[in-house]
């Protein structure tokens, strides 16, 4: 596992623990010599995770769509900044550059991004581990809902189990490293489906 993609809020959230967790994950990735891949912005927790990784001597690749480059303010200190033409290109490029995915606390963008890479594993577009950094129980009610969706017959247990979760960045990276990604979907779809 040489690179990890982090999806997280363009806001800071209401508690300081969210920012601290983002910084801790950035430092941990750098200490493990893992390249951090993220959305390329300075704002919110996105900026916090990138700054912490860079300050710890890590390599950080930011991928930002041109339409957002002003709104989210492109980070100027990155090892590499890629400006792409659209949100869809951004997500594809982030997925291709990464060996694993982590969602920190975030909003609709974060949820959409982690669910997309999760469904790509479900569909066989890629076979890469993913997990949630569940800081302060931020994702507890989402997990309750997902378990209820399994009970209701809309999510297969094997698909639900593809996502790891932990409150500690180092422990979560260990879980991703050890995750069984040999899952074979019934229906395998090519990238760009
Ligand atoms: P948020 O979690 O809503 O603060 O957003 C986190 C990141 O997701 C930001 O870089 C947003 O620009 C991005 N984002 C928001 N909506 C989408 C979307 N529909 N597709 C891809 N990225 C998005």
- pLDDT, tens digit (0-9, with 9 covering 90-100), for 125-137: 899 999 999 999 9
- Spatial distance between the Cα atoms of 27 and 90, rounded to a whole number of angstroms: 24
From the alpha carbon of 41, which atom of ligand 1 is closest?
Answer: 10
Give me the CATH code for the 3-177 domain, please: 3.40.50.450
Which pLDDT score is estimated for 193? Answer: 47
Which pLDDT band, with edges at 50, 70 and 90, does 189 fall under?
low
Ligand 1 neighbours, Cβ below 6 Å, are: 9-11, 39, 41, 68, 72, 87, 91, 106-110, 112-113
Which pLDDT score is estimated for 190? Answer: 56
The answer to whether residue 182 scores a pLDDT higher than 90 is no
The answer to whether residue 188 scores a pLDDT higher than 80 is no
> 3-class secondary structure for 111-165?
HHHHHHHHHHHHHCCCCCCEEEECHHHCCHHHHHHHHHHHHCCCCCHHHHCCEEE
Of 10, 64, 94, 120, the residue with max ligand 1 atoms within 8 A of its CB, to mutate for a pocket test, comes to 10
Instruction: Check: CB of residue 125 under 8 Å from CB of residue 101.
Output: no
């Amino acid at each position: 596992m040489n690179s990890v993609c982090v999806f997280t809020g363009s806001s800071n959230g209401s508690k300081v623990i969210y920012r601290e967790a983002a910084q801790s994950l950035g430092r941990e990735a750098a200490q493990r010599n893992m390249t951090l891949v993220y959305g390329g912005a300075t704002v919110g927790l996105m900026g916090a995770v990138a700054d912490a990784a860079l300050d710890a001597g890590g390599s950080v690749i930011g991928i930002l769509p041109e339409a957002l480059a002003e709104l989210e303010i492109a980070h100027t200190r990155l090892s590499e900044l890629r400006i792409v033409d659209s949100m869809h290109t951004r997500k594809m490029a982030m997925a291709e550059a990464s060996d694993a995915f982590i969602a920190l606390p975030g909003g609709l963008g974060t949820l959409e991004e982690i669910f997309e890479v999760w469904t790509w594993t479900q569909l066989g577009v890629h076979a890469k581990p993913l997990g949630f950094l569940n800081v302060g129980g931020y994702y507890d009610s989402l997990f309750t809902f997902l378990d209820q969706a399994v009970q209701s017959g809309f999510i297969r247990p094997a698909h639900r189990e593809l996502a790891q979760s932990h409150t500690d960045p180092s422990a979560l990276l260990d879980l991703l490293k050890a995750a069984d990604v040999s899952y074979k979907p019934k229906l395998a779809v090519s990238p760009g489906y």
